[in-house]
Structure 1
Amino acid sequence: MAWATITKSAADRASANMPDPERTRAEFSWDDARAMLDGLPGGGLNIAHEALDRHVAAGHGDQIAIRWLGKDGTRRDLSYASLAADAARFANVLVSNGVKPGERVYGLMGRVPELYAAALGTLKAGMTFTPLFAAFGPEPIKARMEIGEGNVLVTTESLYRKKVAAWREEVPSLRLVLIVDDGDAPEGCVALKPAMAAASDKFDTARTTEDDMALIHFTSGTTGRPKGAVHVHGAVMSHVATGRFALDLKPGDIYWCTADPGWVTGTSYGIISPLVNRVTMIVDEAEFDLERWYGILQEEKVQVWYTAPTAIRMMMRAGKEAAEPFDFSSLRFMASVGEPLNPEGVVWGKEVFGRPFHDNWWQTETGGIMIANTAAMDIRPGSMGMPLPGIKAGIVSRDDGGIEECKPGEIGELALRPGWPSMMRAYLHEQARYDKCFVGDWYLTGDLAMKDKDGYFWFVGRADDLIKSSGHLIGPFEVESALIEHDAVAEAAVIGIPDETAGEVVKAYVALKPGFEPSEELEREIRGHARKKLGPAVAPREIVFRKQLPKTRSGKIMRRLLKARELGLPEGDISTLESDEK
């Protein structure tokens, strides 16, 4: 079906931060983004200073930075001044416990107020912050701590006992565990609240530079262990500019980003970009609940809303009738991220909320939004939009002679010209893997896309085996490794299969060891084992037993072949097939 273009009104264009996108793209330079920031007094650049201290110094300390909504109905407002004070206290707690600039602090918790003080206090102290998804199982958490050589973990007592305590001594770099709950901390840990209460609310911000490490975000690969993408304090130039251009953030806006803080969106656009742009953030501790979400939009008078296609699909499944009792008149701009948003979702947003959802595209490696449908642009439903100011994007093909740009309408690999401030600077301990991302003058994203004759970009699919489920990137290798740890499993292969709500869900194919026979009971047992190891967000939803898995002569399992057969697609070249059992 061809979807009609959604044309923006003159009023929409005039009120947008970027009313003339074409002109802004032509005239913009990253020096303009640097001018949106203050910089440290005396020189340097620090994300925490730009997010908090400069606003307090400018007289905005009383503005609400975070309105926190607890699962139990609790409400708590944190002003810019109080959040700045908490960040300073956290920085002092780190220093008093012997943590040095450059060392690595991991956050393992849900959307609780302590997370934000921890992230910003870490950056303020010149240390590196890494968020972890609280639904991960013990093995993914341990792997990321090992790869990143984590020195500090900030978490809850429950998560510590269930997912960390058993392996803590096996990670020698982990010297300090801070527990955020009330009450006494487990043995060998430090209770954060009394430590914060005893700490000073003054701290001289570390004199970091644009190139100093600030963040490590982990992303899964199709083979090998998770990749730790390194980002620097200079990334804040991308965060301030993309917040204004892609999300149309204005000082004082009421803004809600629903992303979990364990993923890059929850840090870049759930902490840094909104605070740098001096908005009031809504933070909801609870998970998705349709009536609760609609109530938040209405009661908190949300103006800018950044959510995910999975949530949008769940709302669509409930029908328009579920939204009718609510007032969404405060909404000015809605955006979607995590995976491509289907055209139906874009149009449905306009019908139900009076505004279309604006899709955009970026990656953990890019650190910020690269391509977007902006407030003043006409929207072509299904398109990811156009490159933001400062971003040069193209569709390319590779051959023996190097890289060539594709013609409009041709499918190729989405590529970006390096040089934007939030571009990852490394994969931890994997220089060769990092270098492989850059060919000629391009950063190659691994995504397939197409650019039409008018410059709109359209997502086609992944060029590798990564699974996108509810906005989360899942690497097959990590899931397969956990499955093989079960006593009955000899081999495992994992693919993503389409799902109406989550986009994709994980399906596993398992070959059993001699002496084990397939059964429903064994299938449930293996799934339970995977959920315990990986968490429910990553573990397979379905397991199929096979006598043997399709492999090449070199022993590589052919996930591509499994997926083709699952979806009824052409099997392609199977000339290298060594073993197989359909």
Structure 2
Amino acid sequence: MKFNPTFILDQSVQSHREKIALVFDEKSFTYEEVLKEVSRAANVVSKLGVEKRNIVMILSFDSMQALSVWLGTLRAGAIPAWVSPLYNKETISYFLELLEPKVIFSDVSLLDRLGLNGQRVVTLGGRVEGLQDYASLSAEVPDQFEPIKVHRDDPTYLLFSGGTTGRPKAVVHTARDFVHVPHRHSKFMGWRESDVHYATSQKYFTHGMWPGVLIPIANGASAILTTKKLTPQVVADILRNHKPTVFITVPTVLKWLVNLEERPDLSSVRMVVSASEKLPIPLLEKFRELYGIEVLDSIGSSEVTYEWISNRPGDNKPGTCGRPIFGVEVKLVDLVTGTEIREPNKLGEVWVKSDTNAYYYLRDLEKTRRTMVGEWIRTGDVMYFDDDGYYVHVGRNDDLFKVKGMWVSPLEIEEVLLRHPAVLEAAVVQAKDADGLTVPAAFLALRPGYTMNAELESELREMVRRELGEYKVPKLFRQVEEIPRTPLMKLDRRRLREQLGERL
């Protein structure tokens, strides 16, 4: 079976030609205009000598130019790889070696990150002497392009893993994602043609690209994007001015909205979906109290394309990630014995099987063999399902640790700490005490007016002891300005562990 992944755009153009497809800040693009932009990009990519299955690297924050190049590369039968500009020069150098891109499209503000050595570069968002710029190239080519068909099982585009435990990995996906993901997620979540989507994650993340661009395009819906740096005020302004109906975000952004003095009107929003990291119950409850909207927690990964377990309207259990998405099969595997778990309330690693599982990690056979086992992907996430069949996220298998022979989940300790009025953010990691024994250690960002002292530490210790037991009480409480996060806005536990050293 052969087709081009951008068929989702062609189909929507046929029935929604004059409808607004994308809004970038104050500029709107109809479906017909988006198709023309994407076709120009495909012509530019082809004119630069890019052939079928060549990799095209994009280094940029969200912009219409960058998004057009990503989609245009697909339309030209090549493989787009949108790399996060939040990575440092060393990591981007690693990507250049890994990807060996035929062409690099880079925002002018990021050229110094490239450390170029003969690669062909086209600038986005401006001109630089000695380099070609996208605006000029796209002005010279037609706004029509006959899409290059690929096999549904051909390597088609790259996503990148979060890199919380080492360098990010390039995850190879196929064209079949464009058939399955929009259909199964829209049916499961109840997303529809009349919706206006706003996904706060940048579009080089799967949590930004799929629900924030590709799924609404496939549905003939509309999507809101911004070129602005994400801040509490930017998010509030978008919600206030553009009135989305579906709001896809992360716990950090929800926390921003809870703490805003001047809160936006969310009366247009019929659904809020959270992912990227576990949504703490105190934050969920506070958001519901202030805005009157239930937040649907979910979990996904680049390796499975997008979400694989989620709550949904009419089937939402706070404190859980929900149930498997339509078309996704999930099993739990015992962390010690490796056998499948069929009873509720037992911890296991999540394995996922779906038609949108990644094929492999680019140029990493060892990691591929460890992660992709037959039809299954080992996610590295540890969960259990409760008596009602809802899945509860306990942590990553490399974040969990044992104290006195019993498993400890940093997430459950953090959730207790966050209930204290002094605590704004909390992160728990494993540490070694003076005797070399494993113990929990807590990093805390406190609300204004609070300082870590003996009285506060005693209160926090007692809260954890009362709710979880003595062995889960952190042996260290360290106040920090803010909790470090990865480019995916997840807690960066690796950096915190490095700060502790070998012994407390």
Give the alignment's TM-score, normalised by structure 2: 0.78
Contact 1:243 1:274 in 2 (8 A): no
Contact 1:345 1:357 in 2 (8 A): no
CA distance in 1, matches of 2:146, 2:320: 45
1:156: which partner in 2?
107
Instruction: Tell me if 1:285 matches 2:227.
Output: yes
- In the TM superposition, 1:80-479 aligns within 5 A as 80-160=31-111, 162-164=112-114, 167-169=115-117, 174=119, 176-182=120-126, 184-187=127-130, 189-219=131-161, 225-318=167-260, 322-323=262-263, 326-377=264-315, 379-399=316-336, 402-416=338-352, 418=353, 420-439=354-373, 442-464=376-398
CA distance in 1, matches of 2:175, 2:488: 33
- In the TM superposition, 1:54-73 aligns within 5 A as 54-56=11-13, 58-69=14-25
2:302 aligns to what SS in structure 1? Answer: coil
Contact 1:288 1:311 in 2 (8 A): no
Structure 1 segments unaligned to the other structure (5+ residues): 1-42, 70-74, 469-494, 502-529, 545-558, 567-579
Shift of 1:181: 2.4
> 1:229 and 1:322, CA in 2 relative to 1: closer, same or farther beyond 3 A?
same
1:47 aligns to what SS in structure 2? Answer: coil
Shift of 1:137: 1.7
Give the alignment's TM-score, normalised by structure 1: 0.68
Of 349-358 and 193-202, more deviation after overlay is shown by 349-358
CA distance in 1, matches of 2:84, 2:178: 22
Correspondence for 2:10 among 32, 40, 53:
53
CA distance in 2, matches of 1:463, 1:373: 22
CA distance in 2, matches of 1:211, 1:442: 17
- In the TM superposition, 1:499-514 aligns within 5 A as none
CA distance in 2, matches of 1:218, 1:177: 21
Contact 1:87 1:121 in 2 (8 A): yes
CA distance in 2, matches of 1:435, 1:497: 34
Shift of 1:86: 0.9
Contact 2:70 2:80 in 1 (8 A): yes
Of 95-104 and 281-290, more deviation after overlay is shown by 281-290
Shift of 1:99: 1.0
Shift of 1:390: 1.2
In the TM superposition, what whole-angstrom CA distance separates every residue of 1:392-429 from its partner, at most 9, and x where no partner exists?
112221556x422252011111122x2x2221101111
Contact 2:2 2:152 in 1 (8 A): yes
Q: Give the aligned CA root-mean-square deviation in angstroms.
A: 3.2
Shift of 1:314: 2.2
Of all paired residues, the percent bearing the same amino acid is 24
CA distance in 2, matches of 1:256, 1:220: 21
1:365 aligns to what SS in structure 2? Answer: helix
> 1:237 and 1:89, CA in 2 relative to 1: closer, same or farther beyond 3 A?
same
Question: Which gives a bigger RCO, structure 1 or 2 (Cα 8 Å, sep 6+)?
Answer: 1
CA distance in 1, matches of 2:151, 2:97: 26
CA distance in 1, matches of 2:165, 2:288: 40
Shift of 1:238: 3.2
The amino acid that maps onto 2:7 is: H
Aligned length: 431
> 1:301 and 1:543, CA in 2 relative to 1: closer, same or farther beyond 3 A?
closer
Contact 1:237 1:422 in 2 (8 A): no
The amino acid that maps onto 1:186 is: E
Shift of 1:343: 1.4
Shift of 1:96: 1.1
Shift of 1:543: 8.7
Of 264-273 and 151-160, more deviation after overlay is shown by 264-273
